[in-house]
Structure 1
Amino acid sequence: MALKRLSGKIAIVTASTDGIGLAIARRLGNEGAKVIISSRKEPNVLRATKELTDEGLEVKGLVCHVSNQDERNKLFEEAKKLGGLDILVSNAAVNPFFGGMLDCDEKMFDKIFDVNVKSSFLLAREALPFLRKSQQGRIIFISSISAYMVDDILGPYSFSKTALLGLTKTIAKHLGPDGITVNCVCPGHIETRFSHVMRKTDEIMKEELKKIPMGRLGQAHEIAPLIAFLASEDGSYITGENIVAAGGLKTRI
C-alpha cells in the first residue's frame, strides 16, 4: 500500500517531465500531493501531464524556463490557485559545456550558474511567502554526486552543483526559526537521458561501474522516495543536510 504522507500538500517540481524530476513528481503525487510540474518545452509538459493524470494523480503542467522570471511567476500563481505551496523541489539543471573549469568561456559559465544555482536561489526566495504560511514548508534542491567528485569534463557543472551544497546550508540556517526545512539531495550515476555521456561506449560504462560499490547505475525511481521522505512530516527535524544517494560512491570534498 502506498504511503499517503503528503495528502493535502501542494508541490512544485521544476524540470519534471523526464528522468529524476518526473519520478519525484510521480512519487509526491502518489503520496497525495497536488503537483505542479514544468519543463522548457510544451510537448514534454503535455506528455508528462497526461502520463501522470492518466495514473490518477492530481497534476498541473506548465511551461517554465527557470531563468525566466515571468515563467517562474506562473508556477507560484498556479500554486496560489490550488491553495498555496508546501513543497518546492528545485531540480532544473543544464550542462552545455564539457571540459576543464578554466577552459570554460564566460558565456557558458554564466549559463550554467544562471540555471543551476541562481535559479534555485530565486525560486527559494520567491516561494518563501507561501512556505511561511504552510504548516510544513519544505525546500529541496537536487544537486549531484558531481558536487563531491570532480570530473575532468564536468568542471563548471561540478562547481555549480557544489555551490548548491553551500546554498542549502545557508538558507537552512536562515529559515530554521520559521520551521521551514531546507535540504539537498545528491544523486549518483542515475540512468537518465541527462547522464547518457557516461554510457557512450561499453568501455566508459565499465570504468564508471568499477567506481560504484553496488556495481550498477541507479534508477530515477530510487531517488524519488528520499525526496518524499524529506517533504513529509517524517523529515521534520532534518534541515541543512546534503544527502547522497549514489550506490556507495565516496563523498568527500
Structure 2
Amino acid sequence: MRRAGLLLALSGRAWRSVRMASSGMARRDPLANKVALVTASTDGIGFAIARRLAQDGAHVVVSSRKQQNVDRAVATLQGEGLSVTGTVCHVGKAEDRERLVVTILDINVKATALMTKAVVPEMEKRGGGSVVIVASIGAYFPVPLWKDKEREESIKEIMQIKRIGKPDECAGIVSFLCSEDASYITGETVVVGGGTPSRL
C-alpha cells in the first residue's frame, strides 16, 4: 500500500510537470529566437506588451509616429537588459509600411536576385560555375545582431562551440562549395553557426 501510494505521488508530480511544460509554465524564455514587431508600443498597453514579449525572450521592435517616443522606449527597455530596437512608423500610412518591407527585401532578396540574374548568363557561356549566397545566421535563426561585449558573451553561452566564428571559417566553406568536390551539391543551405540551437 505504501509503495502504491508512493507511485501515485510520483505519477502526480510527473503529470504536473508534463502539464506545466505543455502549457509553457516551466519554460524559460518561451519566445526565444522570435522577433516581435509591436506597433504603437512606446506607451500604455503597447509598451507593456513590448516589455513582456522581450522579457519572454523575443527581440522586440517598438514603433511610434515620433522619433523621441521611440528613443525613450528603446532606452528604457534596453536599460532593463532587454533586446529591443525601434523604428518610426505610422501604420496608418501605406508608404511607411511599404518602406519597411521594401528595405528588407532590397537587402535580403532583391539585391541577391538581381546579382544572380546578371552573372548566370556569363557563367553559362564559360561552361558553368557556382553561385554562393552568404547571409546572416538571422536568416535561419532569427536573432538580433549585437554590438556590446556583454551581449556577445550571452550569445556564446547558447552555442555548442562557445565562441564567435571567424571570417576565415566562413571563407573555407565558400571555397569548398565553389570547388569540384561540391559539384553534386546544389540548392542547399549550409549553416556555419557554431552549433546554434536552430540546428542541434
TM-score (norm 2): 0.49
RCO higher in 1 or 2 (8 Å CA, sep ≥ 6)?
1
Kindly indicate which of the two structures has a greater share of residues assigned to strand: 1
Instruction: Report the structure number with the largest CA radius of gyration.
Output: 2
